[in-house]
């Protein structure tokens, strides 16, 4: 039934001392995160102004009052709500809640956007749009894993630094009587990486925000976890471990230098890469490779040779000082006719030394490379072009990787043959 009072408290200084004591005791049972006074009120039946201020704060946080009146009436809603936090009453009916961190959805369905957003609002208090995070797979609107991918094709759970994510935490049934779920990130350290969560206390299902900070040191992947404790004591749920690391996306090319001599004809292009953390420097533990597939070669004018697939070795994504990331597209100098084409497709691959991701296609990194011999009057000429194209490319390991079109366009001058 709960505690009772004989008259309204918070009306004036003439309130009954016993009633003020009852209200002070009840307010002190409310956690500060849910509108309780901090520091707690002195239970003396005095200082009604401080008590009234504490009542207004509680009403604002719990009653939806736009203009809280600072009153607790004997049969009013404020007293009934206060009694819900009285553990002496609630202990008899206390329940053990089920807590789920993240969304219980197929772990590799990406991008998650519409369906998951219906379950989890994706705006923080500051109005910034947030990504929905399935902690079981750290989906994050993940462009690195194909829709319908097998579990063994997935990415190690990871989040890019500096970003903020919304995490759905389910608490069934909602808690009353002063109970709460305390949320924290466990294993924060310079080695494992760092992250923070807000709010740290909840009583019902909803989204919380996770902001990630320092990156994980190689060899310490998957140690960070979101943990939920009932009243800060009993562990009710722990998320899958995850890492903090940046991954590459949005590959871009532009023409850099012509190449035409007796040995070959083509061009050199400059390549740039973006990071999903928005900071290129965060890719300092990422290595890049490329896979090339030749699917057409007219002989003549082009010469026999070059394998079906060619994978380059992995090199740092951030080139040494004074150098740049580039690619050479040169064919042995073709014959002066007849007309013909030598065409390849190219995908860019990466591996992350922080989380352990390996042989993953960079999103938006597919290109078509075409060498052409064509006639202008009686003269045969050559040129090579490179443009972004959505592709699927076969790897020697027996799998096909797919990536959307890269950005930019490069074209050599026309070469007289």
Same domain, yes or no: 207 and 328: no
Instruction: Identify which has the larger pLDDT, 84 or 264.
Output: 264
Q: How many domains does the chain have?
A: 3
Residue 105 pLDDT > 50, yes or no? no
Q: What is the pLDDT of residue 294?
A: 86
Same domain, yes or no: 297 and 365: yes
**What would the pLDDT profile of 228-249 be if each residue is shown by its tens digit?**
999 888 888 888 788 999 999 8
What are 393's two structure tokens?
């490319």
Asked which of 140-144, 237-241, 307-311 is least confident by mean pLDDT, the reply is: 140-144
Pick from 201, 220, 244: which residue ends a domain?
244
* Residue-wise DSSP of 357-403: --SEEPSS-BEEEEEEEEEETTEEEEEEEEEE--EEEE-TTS-EEEE
Same domain, yes or no: 358 and 261: yes
Whether residue 7 lies inside any domain: the answer is: no
Please give the average per-residue pLDDT across 30-42, as a whole number.
Answer: 85
Please give the average per-residue pLDDT across 212-223, as a whole number.
Answer: 93
Same domain, yes or no: 209 and 296: no
Task: Assign 90 a pLDDT band (cuts: 50, 70, 90).
Answer: very low
Q: Is the peptide bond before 173 cis (omega within 30 degrees of 0)?
A: yes
10 Å Cβ neighbour count for 15?
21
Where is mean pLDDT largest: 18-32, 248-262, 309-323?
248-262
What are 215's two structure tokens?
């990156």
- Cβ contacts of 400 within 8 Å, gap of 6 or more: 392, 393, 394
Same domain, yes or no: 201 and 306: no
Whether residue 8 lies inside any domain: the answer is: no
Same domain, yes or no: 287 and 336: yes
Q: Is the peptide bond before 338 cis (omega within 30 degrees of 0)?
A: yes
Please give the average per-residue pLDDT across 207-234, as a whole number.
Answer: 90
Whether residue 263 lies inside any domain: the answer is: yes
Same domain, yes or no: 375 and 298: yes
Whether residue 189 lies inside any domain: the answer is: yes
Residue 138 pLDDT > 60, yes or no? no
**What would the pLDDT profile of 322-357 be if each residue is shown by its tens digit?**
999 999 999 999 999 999 999 999 999 999 999 998
Whether residue 222 lies inside any domain: the answer is: yes
Task: Assign 92 a pLDDT band (cuts: 50, 70, 90).
Answer: very low
Task: Assign 148 a pLDDT band (cuts: 50, 70, 90).
Answer: very low
Same domain, yes or no: 147 and 189: yes
Question: What distance lies between CA 312 and its chain's CA centroid?
Answer: 29
Q: What is the pLDDT of residue 120?
A: 37
Pick from 62, 91, 120: which residue ends a domain?
91
Q: What is the pLDDT of residue 193?
A: 95
The secondary element (H helix, E strand) that includes residue 159 is: strand 158-159
Whether residue 86 lies inside any domain: the answer is: yes
The secondary element (H helix, E strand) that includes residue 311 is: strand 309-311
Q: What is the pLDDT of residue 116?
A: 33
By residue range, what is the domain housing residue 148?
A: 98-244
Asked which of 102-111, 209-218, 329-338, 362-371 is least confident by mean pLDDT, the reply is: 102-111
Task: Assign 220 a pLDDT band (cuts: 50, 70, 90).
Answer: very high
* % of residues, the chain, pLDDT over 70: 81
Residue 196 pLDDT > 50, yes or no? yes
Burial per residue of 209-236, b for 16 or more beta-carbon CB atoms within 10 angstroms, e otherwise:
bbbbeebbbeebbbbbbbbbbbbeeeeb
Whether residue 154 lies inside any domain: the answer is: yes
Please give the average per-residue pLDDT across 148-165, as a whole number.
Answer: 68
Burial per residue of 309-337, b for 16 or more beta-carbon CB atoms within 10 angstroms, e otherwise:
eebeebeebbeeeeeebebebbbbbbbee
Please give the average per-residue pLDDT across 369-391, as a whole number.
Answer: 95
Q: What is the mean pLDDT of the chain?
A: 81
Same domain, yes or no: 110 and 252: no
Same domain, yes or no: 160 and 69: no
> Which residue from 352, 355, 354, 389 is spatially nearest to 370, judged by alpha carbons?
389
Same domain, yes or no: 211 and 278: no
Pick from 213, 244, 275: which residue ends a domain?
244
Task: Assign 41 a pLDDT band (cuts: 50, 70, 90).
Answer: confident
Same domain, yes or no: 185 and 331: no
Whether residue 9 lies inside any domain: the answer is: no
Please give the average per-residue pLDDT across 31-59, as a whole number.
Answer: 84
């Amino acid at each position: 039934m709960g505690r009772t009072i004989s008259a309204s408290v918070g009306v004036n200084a003439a309130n009954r001392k016993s009633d003020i004591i009852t209200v002070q005791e009840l307010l002190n049972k409310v956690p500060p995160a849910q509108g309780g006074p901090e520091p707690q009120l002195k239970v003396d039946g005095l200082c009604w102004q401080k008590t009234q201020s504490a009542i207004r704060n509680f009403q604002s946080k719990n009653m939806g009052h736009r203009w809280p009146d600072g009153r607790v009436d004997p049969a009013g809603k404020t007293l009934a709500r206060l009694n819900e936090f009285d553990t002496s009453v609630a202990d008899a009916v206390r329940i053990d809640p089920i807590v789920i961190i993240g969304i219980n959805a197929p772990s590799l369905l990406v991008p998650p956007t519409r369906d998951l957003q219906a379950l989890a609002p994706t705006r923080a208090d500051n109005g910034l749009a947030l990504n929905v995070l399935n902690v079981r797979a750290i989906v994050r609107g993940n462009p690195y894993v194909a829709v319908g991918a097998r579990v063994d094709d997935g990415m190690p759970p990871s989040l890019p630094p500096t970003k903020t994510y919304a995490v759905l935490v389910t608490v069934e049934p909602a808690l009353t009587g002063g109970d709460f779920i305390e949320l924290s990130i466990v294993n924060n350290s310079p080695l494992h990486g760092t992250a923070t969560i807000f709010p740290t206390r909840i009583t019902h299902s909803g989204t919380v925000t996770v902001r990630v900070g320092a990156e994980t040191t190689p060899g310490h992947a998957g140690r960070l976890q979101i943990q939920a404790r009932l009243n800060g004591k009993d562990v009710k749920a722990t998320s899958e471990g995850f890492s903090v690391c940046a991954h590459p996306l949005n590959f871009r090319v532009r023409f850099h230098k012509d190449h035409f001599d007796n040995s070959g004809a083509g061009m050199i292009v400059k390549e740039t890469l973006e990071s999903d953390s928005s900071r290129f420097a965060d890719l300092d533990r990422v290595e890049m490779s490329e896979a090339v597939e030749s699917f057409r070669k007219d002989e003549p004018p082009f010469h026999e040779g070059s394998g079906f697939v060619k994978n380059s070795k992995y090199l740092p994504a951030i080139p040494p000082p004074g150098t740049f990331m580039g690619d050479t597209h040169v064919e042995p100098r073709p014959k002066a006719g007849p007309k013909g084409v030598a065409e390849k497709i190219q995908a860019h691959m990466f591996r992350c030394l922080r989380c352990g991701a390996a042989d993953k296609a960079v999103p938006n990194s597919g290109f078509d490379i075409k060498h052409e011999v064509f006639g202008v009057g009686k003269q045969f000429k050559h040129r090579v072009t490179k443009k972004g194209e959505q592709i699927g490319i076969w790897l020697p390991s027996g799998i096909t990787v797919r990536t959307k079109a890269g950005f930019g366009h490069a074209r050599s001058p026309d070469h007289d043959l």
